[in-house]
């Protein structure tokens, strides 16, 4: 998006790390030109770590769902803290094991000693405890089950006032070089704090508002990453679906491609909270409409209210963006006609039938006010292209 100084981040990984808390900061920082190295002990670049989604499914405690895998990009034994500006530690059960690994504890302690940023979420604050970072009353928040341990470690427990459930939490806490948050509902604000702590300045020509059209089985990262990333960039964002009201949930899915298979396996992801009711949406209040991928576009294209809303955005000459199967809804409204579109092989015929030119390649394609990407793996480029189309940038 624009940078005069190269920034670098270290992402400490492990099996069963929380996928949302991993992918959102990873792809957002990459879209801003930040170099991110993903590492874990006893594995090398090219190896993979299993990721899990933590969400509430009607039981008293969250459920862990195994979703997909993240490929490591560097070797743990090559890591030197002096080469990085921040260490990011997602939540998840892997931190229990890493907190007993002297190499990992020493790594976190070295970041603390050099006053470099340490970014933690949900349960990964256990690494702060193990490294003695909280001693002396450092303010810290986490999933509430961690409160007693934080206080026993010499930290000062912080909780956002006036909230009754974790879904209402929007804030994180920064004390010196330590940033902590409860979990994925606060990622938008937390990533904003992270970017600003790295010296990033968000530049916007005008206030920007973005509407996401979703439904059940929307692609998890396709909605969560741009939604939280645009929040971090100071944009007003809403997510709506025709048949649900504000406060209701849409199911998401994750695509996990195993070696030797022709297609990825579809797995249940996080639930996503609808933020506005359909009847309250006014096209004039938004600068852009985004249609993520997954199977939800099949639902939307059969709903005349959704088709009509996209046509209104076209009449107003707004910015359009779509990922993966999200182009199906744009195809039904004529938006793709005469336009170049990023497309995987599975969407190639659909784009061409709609009068568009399918560009089968990795990354993002921008044609006028249309921004498209083939899949969730292209999200860093997609975020960069969409932000440029909206007149939003970050300068380090």
- Tens of pLDDT, residue by residue over 18-32, are 999 999 999 999 999
- Cβ neighbours of residue 385 closer than 8 Å, sequence gap 6 or more: 364, 365, 366, 371, 373
> Which is higher by pLDDT, 262 or 160?
160
What's the pLDDT at 263?
79
Distances (CA, A) of 324 to 146, 169, 191, 266, 390: 38, 31, 25, 14, 20
What's the pLDDT at 163?
80
> Which is higher by pLDDT, 138 or 257?
138
Where residue 127 falls among pLDDT bands split at 50, 70, 90? very high
Where residue 167 falls among pLDDT bands split at 50, 70, 90? confident
- Cβ neighbours of residue 328 closer than 8 Å, sequence gap 6 or more: 297, 298, 301, 347, 350
CA angle 99, 100, 105 (to 5 degrees): 55
Mean pLDDT of all residues in 89-102: 97
Q: Give the least confident one: 36-40, 160-164, 353-357.
A: 160-164
| Arithmetic mean of pLDDT over the chain | 94
Widest Cα–Cα separation across the chain: 64
- Cβ neighbours of residue 325 closer than 8 Å, sequence gap 6 or more: 219, 293, 294, 295, 297, 298, 347
Where residue 2 falls among pLDDT bands split at 50, 70, 90? low
- Indicate if the pLDDT at residue 354 is higher than 80: yes
Where residue 35 falls among pLDDT bands split at 50, 70, 90? very high
Where residue 361 falls among pLDDT bands split at 50, 70, 90? confident
Nearest Cα to 385, choosing from 316, 319, 311, 314? 319
- Cβ neighbours of residue 334 closer than 8 Å, sequence gap 6 or more: 311, 314, 354, 355
- Indicate if the pLDDT at residue 44 is higher than 90: yes
Q: Do 179 and 173 touch, CB atoms closer than 8 A? A: yes
What's the pLDDT at 57?
87
Mean pLDDT of all residues in 245-249: 95
């Amino acid at each position: 998006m624009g940078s005069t100084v190269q920034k670098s981040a270290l992402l400490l990984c492990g099996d069963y790390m929380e996928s949302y808390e991993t992918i959102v900061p990873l792809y957002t920082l990459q879209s801003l030109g930040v170099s991110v190295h993903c590492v874990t002990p006893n594995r090398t670049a090219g190896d993979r770590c299993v990721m899990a989604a933590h969400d509430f499914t009607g039981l008293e405690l969250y459920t862990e769902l195994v979703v997909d895998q993240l490929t490591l990009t560097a070797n743990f034994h090559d890591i030197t803290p002096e080469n990085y500006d921040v260490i990011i530690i997602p939540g998840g059960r892997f931190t229990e094991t890493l907190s007993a690994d002297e190499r990992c504890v020493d790594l976190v302690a070295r970041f603390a000693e050099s006053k470099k940023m340490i970014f933690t979420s949900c349960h990964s604050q256990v690494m702060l405890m193990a490294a003695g970072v909280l001693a002396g009353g450092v303010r810290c928040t986490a999933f509430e089950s961690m409160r007693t341990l934080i206080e026993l470690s010499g930290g000062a427990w912080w909780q956002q006032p006036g909230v009754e459930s974790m879904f209402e939490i929007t804030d994180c806490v920064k004390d010196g070089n330590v940033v902590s948050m409860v979990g994925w509902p606060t990622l938008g604000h937390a990533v904003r704090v992270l970017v600003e702590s790295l010296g990033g300045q968000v530049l916007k020509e005008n206030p920007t508002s973005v509407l996401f059209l979703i439904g059940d089985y929307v692609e998890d990262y396709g909605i969560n990453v741009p939604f939280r990333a645009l929040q971090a960039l100071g944009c007003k964002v809403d997510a709506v679906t025709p048949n649900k009201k504000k406060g209701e949930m849409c199911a998401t899915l994750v695509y996990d491609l195993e070696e030797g298979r022709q297609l990825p396996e579809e797995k249940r992801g996080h639930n996503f909270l609808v933020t506005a009711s359909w009847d309250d949406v006014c096209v004039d209040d938004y600068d852009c409409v985004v249609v993520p991928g997954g199977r939800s576009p099949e639902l939307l294209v059969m709903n005349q209210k959704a088709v009509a809303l996209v046509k209104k955005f076209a009449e107003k000459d707004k910015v359009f963006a779509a990922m993966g199967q999200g182009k199906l809804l744009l195809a039904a409204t004529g938006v793709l006609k005469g336009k170049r579109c990023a497309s995987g092989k599975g969407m190639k015929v659909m784009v061409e039938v709609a009068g568009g030119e399918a560009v089968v390649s990795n990354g993002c394609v921008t044609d006028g006010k249309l921004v498209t990407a083939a899949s969730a793996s292209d999200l860093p480029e997609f975020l960069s292209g969409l932000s440029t189309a909206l007149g939003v940038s970050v300068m380090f």
